Each structure stands twice: as C-alpha cells, then as structure tokens.
Structure 1
Amino acid sequence: MASKPTVVLVHGFWGGAAHWGKAILELKDRGYTSLRAVENPLTSLAEDAERTRKMVKQVDGPVLLVGHSYGGAVITEAGDLPNVTGLVYIAAFAPDAGESPGGISQELPPAAVENIVPDSDGYLWIKQDKFRESFGQDLSADEALVMAVTQKAPLASTFGDEVTDPAWRKKPVWYQVSTNDRMIHPDNERRMARRMSPRKIVELDASHASLASQPKAVADLIDEAANST
C-alpha cells in the first residue's frame, strides 16, 4: 500500500497555522504522520508563496497542498512544484492569472465586508466584536473570541496582489464551498471551483471557518484527495 503524502496546510487572512488545529487532529487519527502547517507573514502574495514553496521543498516525497481562504491564492501561486500532487481549496480564493483576492471580492462582495477595517499602519482587521458573526458564526463564542483576539491581520495591499501562473491549471483540484460564508461570497466560491474542473466539489453548511467548525468533513475531503493522487 502506498504511503500517504505529506499534507501541507496553508492558512488565510486573520489567522495563523493554528486555525488548522482540529483538522490536524482529524488527519492524525486517520494515519497521517507527516503534516506541516505553514505560518505565512501575510505581507504579500509573493512573500507568502515563497514561504510556502520553501516548506514544500523541505519535504522528501509527494505533497498535497491545502489552502483555506487567502491560502487558496497562496497554493495557486506556489503549487507548481514537481512534488505537489494535488491542491485542496477550503472556502478559498482560487484566482486565475492576473486576478487578485480583492478583485474577486469586489465583483461579488461578501456579507461581512463592512466589518473589515484598516489601521494606521496599513493592516486590515475584522472588528473584534463582529468577528464571530463575520468569520465563524458556527463556532462557539469562546472559540470565536480567541480567534478574534489572536487574529493575524494582513497588509491591505496583499488583497490586490495578482496570481501569475495558476497551479490549478496543471494539478488535480478538490474544492469545499461554505454555503454560509460571509468572508468570501459562496457564489464566488462556486464560480472559482467550477472553472477549475475539480475532481470533487463539496458544499458544507458552514461559515468561513469550516476548517474549525466542520473539521471531520474537511478532513474527509483532504483524505479523499490524498488517496486519489
């Protein structure tokens, strides 16, 4: 029986690698012994993609890249490495060449767009008192509070960074849509998913934080992708 690939998890805006905590435990229980979670600076798509590439290159063997939210743009930009066997998008941006997360969001604004505010240093934050209803309305109040207080703000300019050569045009793809997403419009997720001709699209009755609110279902899709590549 073939060994499982290394799963490299890539977080999005307003969070870090720890957002994958529940999914990591689900995957561990399914026999995944090689798991990595990138901690990206969220300072530019180029810098985040390079950080992700460096982690992938450290792996001796096949890698399944999984991106949540803006992490989808990162795996789109960084995923064309020889040992990457597939891409899994979890309520994520999947830009084409010349597209940016910000441009995609402007076409079909998400419900919580008004709850994102800039600071004086050029970073964007979700208002703490609006975090749960915006990012993870299906999380417990305590879990959402911890995420709100520890949120990792991106540089606003990162929203406008464009993908150059999308890896999804060359690699097998799986996509999870969150039907109650308030950070990326669900119809934007569906549109991005369909145009990639993925092996599978899964729709979950979930918030943007599906990786934390429905880790079993998210791990199911990752597991299916890993077993198919």
Structure 2
Amino acid sequence: MTDDQQITNAVLVHGAFADGSGWRGVYENLTARGMRVTIAQIPLTSLADDVAATTRVLDLQDGPTVLVGHSWGGTVITEAGTHPKVAALVYVSALAPDSGETTAQQYEGFAPTPNFVIDVGDDGFGFLNWERFKVGFAADATDADAAFLRDSQVPINMSAFGVAVPHAAWRDKPSWAVIARDDQSFDQAMLTHMATRAGAEITYVSASHALFLTQPGAVSEVIATAAQNALVAS
C-alpha cells in the first residue's frame, strides 16, 4: 500500500449523555500511530446542530478522513458523512438510520433495554437515570470512571430522535462497525441489523455500551483498519 492510500485523519463524534472526553484513550492510541485525530464536541440540541458542529470539524481536515460515531453519534455521522472529505465511516455501538428514517424507528421490533433509563425533564431534554447509569451504560468501567461519566453527562434534546436523516452516507461510503456484546443500552440484534444493512465490516467486542472509553485498543484497531483500507475499498 502506498502512502497516498493511507488515510491519516480521523474525526471522533461522541453520543448522547456524554462528551468528547471519553475518547481520550482512542485519541492517544491513534495519535501514537501517526494519525491526526480531532474530537467533535456536539451540543446534543438537535440533529441539525450536531451535524453542523461535526461539519465544522470536517472542514478543518487536510485530506480524506475516517468519521467515527458512538451511539447517537452514529446518526450524526450518517448525515455528516456525506461531507466530501469523509472517506469511511466507523460505527461504535452506534445508530445507523437509512435515508428517510428517524433514530426512533431503529428500535422498532427489537428487544427493550430495561437497564437503560432516560429521565426526561419538562424542557424535553433527557439525562440517564443516576441509579441505573453504570449498569445500563458503563457496566465494564471502573466505579470511578462510571461515576465521572454519570456526573459529567450531557442531556440530549429528545426530539432529535424523531428527525429523519435526509441521506445515509453509508449508502455511498465504506463502513466498519464495532459492536459491544454486553451492551445494555441497545439490543445487540438491533446493532447487528443496522451494521449489516450498511454493509459494514463488523467486529464484536466484550464490552458495555461505553466501549469507546473502556475498550480503546479494540476501537482504535478498527479505526486504523478503516484508515488503511477505505481508499482501496472505494
């Protein structure tokens, strides 16, 4: 493989109830491999706002880029991934709606996740329930890390889940997926269905939904694989 076939840029997009700090391990792993990594901090106020924040970061990239999304970040990269600098998509236990579909539609027909409890305020923004946070979101994290995630969580405007994605980027660009086998936030069958439909190369990892934090090595390996193969695949 020649140097011009190796992507060196990656943009990481966090999901709902979190911010970009959880990507620290992945960031350090990929930068040690020589990649230029940028973390998009999305506001979680609407799909349009989150896509706009991601697009601003993509505009800064100096060449082909691997765009990575965790959880709700998968919906964001599905739309933002139409950006011309995006050469590959990586879904990390992430949502992947099709064109014209909403995030909420992805749950239809799949098993409920009773440990993943969202408390919604009068303003329509949701936080993960404090008591159920660790078991539902980050069961394999240390108690200290889970407490930090819980206490620093960012609420999401729940109306965002009802907004359709205009065009699914995975229809045009190669995709990879990392799926947590012990995910208590999403039904694993739902994650597998979305990733398979997107034609993604799937890697399964023994981890909770917070695998972006707890399994940085495995997640980084898939991102590196996408960087090495996306231009050839396309």
Aligned residues: 227
Q: Which runs of 5+ in 2 are unaligned?
A: none
Alignment partner for residue 18 of structure 1, among 17, 21, 26? 21
Sort the Cα spacing of 1:174 and 1:114 in 2 relative to 1 into closer, same or farther, 3 A: closer
Q: Give the Å deviation of 1:165.
A: 0.4
Sort the Cα spacing of 1:109 and 1:162 in 2 relative to 1 into closer, same or farther, 3 A: farther
Q: What TM-score does the superposition give when structure 1 sets the normalisation length?
A: 0.95
In the alignment, what sits opposite 1:58? Answer: 60
In the alignment, what sits opposite 2:212? Answer: 211
Alignment partner for residue 29 of structure 1, among 14, 27, 32? 32
Percent identity between matched residues is 35
2-11 vs 111-120, which deviates more? 111-120
In the alignment, what sits opposite 2:109? Answer: 107
Q: Answer yes or no: is the 8 Å Cα contact 2:116–2:128 preserved in 1.
A: no
Q: Which secondary structure does the structure 2 equivalent of 1:129 belong to?
A: coil
Q: Answer yes or no: is the 8 Å Cα contact 1:68–1:92 preserved in 2.
A: yes
Deviation per residue, 1:58-97 (Å, 9 max, x gap): 2121111000001010010011122211000000000001
Q: Distance in 2 between matches of 1:20 and 1:26?
A: 10
Q: Which secondary structure does the structure 1 equivalent of 2:199 belong to?
A: coil
Matching residue's letter, 1:134: G
Q: Which runs of 5+ in 1 are unaligned?
A: none
Sort the Cα spacing of 1:226 and 1:139 in 2 relative to 1 into closer, same or farther, 3 A: same
Q: Answer yes or no: is the 8 Å Cα contact 2:116–2:137 preserved in 1.
A: no
Any runs of at least 4 consecutive aligned residues in structure 1 with deviations exceeding 4 A, and if so which?
A: none
Q: Give the Å deviation of 1:51.
A: 1.3
In the alignment, what sits opposite 1:74? Answer: 76
In the alignment, what sits opposite 1:170? Answer: 172
Q: Distance in 1 between matches of 2:193 and 2:46?
A: 24
99-108 vs 186-195, which deviates more? 99-108
What RMSD, in angstroms, separates the aligned Cα atoms of the two structures?
1.4
Q: Give the Å deviation of 1:183.
A: 1.2
Q: Answer yes or no: is the 8 Å Cα contact 1:110–1:182 preserved in 2.
A: no
Alignment partner for residue 99 of structure 2, among 97, 100, 114? 97
Q: Which secondary structure does the structure 1 equivalent of 2:173 belong to?
A: coil
